A and B are shown apart, each in its own frame.
Chain A
Amino acid sequence: MGGSRRFLDSASQPTCWGNKVLSVDFFKGAVHMKCELCKKNEATVHLKQASDSKVKEVHLCEECAAKKGFNVQSPLALTDFLFGLEIQQQTEPDGIDEACPNCHMRRSDFRKTSRLGCVQCYETFSDELTPLLAEMQKGSQHVGKVPKSEKIPGEIASLRRKLDEAVASQNFEEAARLRDAIRGMKEKNVS
C-alpha cells in the first residue's frame, strides 16, 4: 500500500521541487500580523507559495482576500488567485505607464485585469511577462504544436538560437553549418 501513495505524503515533504512546480498551501494560523493590503485588519488568510526559486508568503484579512476574488470557503482555485495577485503586486517602474502602440492598453490596465489587450502586448510588455511566465509556467519557451504556416519561421528561430550558442562557445564550424542551414530554410520559406 505504501508505494503508490507518493503524492499523498504529508506536509512534512519539502515544498520545493527540482523543476518549477508551484506548491500552494492555505492555512488559517495564529500568526498575529496586519493585512498586507489594507494594513488595518488582522490577517487571517495566510498563503504560502513555494517554487524552486523561493518561498513567498502573502497575508491578507478576509475582506481584502474576498475583494481580490479569494473564496476562503473553497481553497480549490488558489493557484489562479495567486497568479492574479502576483501580477497586481508588481512594483511600479519609475511612474511611466507605457501603453501598447497597437491597442493602447497600459501597463496599469494589465496589472488590474491580469489580461493582455492584443497580440502586440506580448512584445510591449515582454519585460514584465518574462519573469512572470518563468515563475507560473513550466518554462518560458514554447515547445508544443506549431501552426503549419509558422513551421519554417519557428525552425529558423530555433536554428538561430543554436547558432548563437555555437558562436558563444567558439564552435565556428558548427556555426557555419547552422548559418548555411538557416539560409536554406529562408529560401524554402520564400518559395
Chain B
Amino acid sequence: MLVDDLVKSPGSWLSMARDTGIVISSRARLARNVRDTAFPAWSSKDELVRLCNNLRGAFERISTLANPLFFDMGALGPVDKDVLRERHLISNELVEKQAGSGLIVAEDERIAIMINEEDHLRLQSMSSGMNLRAVWKKIDAVDSELEGYVNYAFSPRFGYLTACPSNVGTGLRVSVMMHLPGLRLMNEIEPAIRGLNRMGIEVRGILGEGTEASGNMFQISNRTTLGETEDAIIDQLIQLAKEIVEHEQNARARLMEQKMVYVLDHVERAFAVLSHAHVLSSGEAVELLSGLRLGIELDIVENVTVGRINEIMLLTQPGHLQKIAKKVLDPEERDEVRAQIVKQKLKGISIKG
C-alpha cells in the first residue's frame, strides 16, 4: 500500500465518534530500545538496517497488530514523508532519516511505530477525542507481546533505557490535543500554560516539538517519565485535561456573555474568507478554520461538522495538497489549491438564521 492509498481515507481515528470538540485526539507513546545495538544516533548505518529488518520481522508475527504496513524511510520521497508527518504517523526527526529507519502502520493508522528515530522503537497509539485509557491499553498490549520477540534494554533501577534521559523509566508520553480558542480570546492562555508547567505538564503547539500554537491547538503531555507508574501518569493527565476543558467551556460562556459581538465577528469573518478566498496560506487557513470550528461548537454556523473541519485541516497541509493535485506545487500554487479545496468542502455551510 503506497502513501497514495493512505491519502484517500482521512484516517478513521479522525472520525467524529468521540470528538467533543475541545479535545481533538488522544495519544500514548512508548519509547523502547533493544539491548545489543547502540542507540540510533550512535549506531552505524549497517547496524540500523539490520535492526530495522529484524524488528519488521517481529512485527509481522505479532497478533495484536492487524495488517501491519511497513514504510522504508530510504524509499520515500519528501512529499510522501510530509503526508505521513501531517497524519501524525512520523515525527520531524524521522522525516530526516533514510534507509535503516522505518515506520509500521496498523489498525487504520491508530497504531504507528517508528523504527530507529531517537530510540530504536517509538510505539504510538492514537484515537479521536478524550480516550487516554484505551490508547494506553492498546499500546501496552502491543508492547507486552513484542517483549516476547525482542530483548528490551531495561534496568530495574532506571526502567526502560532510552537515548535521552528525559524519556527513561516508563518511556511513556501521553498527550491530548485540545482546541482552546475561548482561553485564547479571553487572554487567559498564558497563565493556563504556566499553571500546567508547574504541575509537570508540557504544552506544545500543533506542529509538535516547541513550535507556535497556531489555530489555538495545543498539545498537553506529561513531562516526567520516571518515578511514577504508568497509571499515575495517565490519571494525572486525564484529570488536568478535564480541568482545562472546564476552563475552556467557562471562558467560552463568558465570551458569549460579555463579548458576543466580537465572537460573531470572529466566526463570521472566518466563514466569509474561507467561503470566498481564492488564495489561502496555510497559516491563515489554520487560524480561520479554528474560528469556524468555534462557530460550529457555539452553534453560530450550520451544515458543517467538526469532523469535516478535521478533514479539511488535514487535506490542506502541503504534503496532502500535493498528493491531491498529483504533482509538486510551489507555495503560491499550494495557496490556490488550498482555497479551492476549502471552498469545495464547505459547500452548503451557512450562518444560523
Contact = CB atoms under 8 A, between A and B. Distances in A.
Most chain B beta carbons < 10 A, residue from A4, A5, A7, A103:
A7
B165 A133 contact: yes
A133 B226 contact: yes
A119 B198 contact: no
A22 B156 contact: no
A170 to B, nearest CB: 26
Contact of A80 (B148, B191, B210): B210
Most buried by B among A105, A118, A144: A144
Nearest to B222: A138
Interface stretch (A30-38, A56-64, A69-77, A179-187): A69-77
Nearest to B210: A77
A141 B193 CA distance: 28
B165 A76 contact: no
B107 interface: no
B4 interface: no
B165 A129 contact: yes
B170 A144 contact: yes
A23 B197 contact: yes
Interface in B146-173: 147-148, 151-161, 163-166, 168-170, 172
B246 interface: yes
A145 interface: yes
A85 interface: no
Interface in A133-173: 133, 136-150, 153-154, 157-158
B224 A74 contact: no
Contact of B229 (A4, A20, A116, A143): A143
B247 A8 contact: yes
B204 interface: yes
Contacts of B229: 143-145
Contacts, number: 172
Contacts of A136: 165-166, 224
Given A5-B247, A8-B191, A115-B41, A22 B209 contact: no
Nearest to A105: B42
B250 interface: yes
Contacts of A140: 157, 226-227
Contacts of B33: 119
B152 A147 contact: yes
Interface in B216-233: 223-230
A50 B334 CA distance: 45
B199 interface: yes
Given A119-B35, A145-B140, A77 B212 contact: no
A145 B158 contact: no
B307 interface: no
Given A15-B198, A138-B226, 8 more contacts: A11-B194, A74-B211, A76-B211, A137-B224, A145-B143, A145-B229, A150-B156, A157-B156
14 contacts: A17-B198, A76-B204, A76-B205, A115-B39, A132-B165, A137-B169, A142-B155, A142-B227, A144-B159, A147-B152, A148-B144, A148-B148, A149-B151, A157-B156
Smallest CB-CB A-B distances: 8 pairs: A139-B227, A77-B210, A142-B159, A138-B227, A7-B195, A117-B42, A137-B226, A144-B170
